[in-house]
Amino acid sequence: MHNLFIVRTPLQLLSAYIVASQNHCQATNTLVLINPRGNTLWQSTYYLNRMVTDQEVWHKIFTFTHRVARRSELFQVRKRLSNLKKQLLEPGNVDQVYLGADREFDNQLLVELVNNVSYARLEDGIWSYSSPDRSLKEQVEFFLWRHIVKLLTGISTGMKYNYHGGGYGKAATTDYLFKPHLLQRPSPCAVAIPQGHIHRALAKLAAGTHTTDALQNIDNAMIFLGSVFVDRGILSLDTELSLLQKIVAIAKDKKMRLCYKPHPFEKKEKLAYYQTKLPELIIIDFSDPIEIFFYCHPQIKTVISYSSSGLLYADLFSQESVQPIALFEIFSVEKDAHTLAKIMRLAGVQIPYTLEELETYLINP
């Protein structure tokens, strides 16, 4: 059996790795990695590198640092895709395609490229359970680009493309999810990825010595998952700094350390400023999915974020008890707070409405 996995983010890669290593360990698995950072991302940190170099799981790996069908090279697209098709089908016909998400054009194009008309979706965090629709303008642009590429390449299997938000593709046959009960949209067939599969895959990843692990010398840790709300002007710098000061003080009283895991697109200058103002704050900057660290580090007791997907699976990945707390109701940073709150509560995440309530949660978990 030949499977094709197409992913764009570290969490999608983790999902693909678990499904491939546990469900298809005897199959031929091809991995396609699409991200502007390319190998700079996939080889940047310990666990990402281990996942993409595991030759027991992957037969072949393709890395793209740009779109598969680029508008800047429109008239070369036919030859490029023809060559790529030969490479992808080198092990034989593809029996099953897995997409980290089905909202991107390139992901769906690759399904057609290997002569398939359907695909399965993989866990993609919050986006797997509720995804905003594209605007009408974006849908029209997507539709036109699809037909331009079709005209230039002749690729047309009759597959139904998804012009809307993630998870609404009619060509999807299955959703492989960590927590299917969180779904806020229809699914053709929602399949739970068992905790046993998750832990077996992570046990393999964690085997060996990880000498650069920033958490290995911290006995009791609170993790704050960063965001770009300050960088985008949704929150003020002083508001977030004041929040971190409060959490650091509580952590200190509980003989814990607050560790800040930055969002990939947070500004380095902001983080340096926080470090200057709060020397007790430990910045742990890595691209590995936080879910792996829940499994590897029982000393992680609490994880805090405004609305990160990293809160959803703390109980599923951890071998111990982890307290997840979402802050979006306190700071009003999310547009669709009602749906987000429903998903978070179903996942077992605590949602305080005031700073006083947050303090209560932290002091009496």
pLDDT value of residue 70: 81
The Cα–Cα gap between 329 and 339 comes to: 12
| pLDDT tens by residue, 210-254 | 766 777 778 889 999 999 999 999 999 999 999 999 999 999 999
Q: How far apart are CA 347 and CA 338, in angstroms?
A: 14
Query: What does the pLDDT look like over 163-219, one tens digit per residue?
Result: 999 999 999 999 999 999 999 999 999 999 999 999 999 999 988 767 667 777 788
How far apart CA 111 and CA 24 sit, in angstroms, is 19
Q: What is the pLDDT of residues 105-120, one digit of tens each?
A: 999 999 999 999 999 9
* Confidence (pLDDT) at 203: 94
Beta 221-225 vs 190-192: how paired, if at all?
unpaired
Tens digit of pLDDT for each residue in 299-325? 899 999 999 999 999 999 999 899 999
| Structural domains of the chain, with CATH | 2-206 (3.40.50), 221-363 (3.40.50.2000)
Burial 34-51 (b: 16+ CB within 10 A, else e): bbeeeeebbeebbbbebb
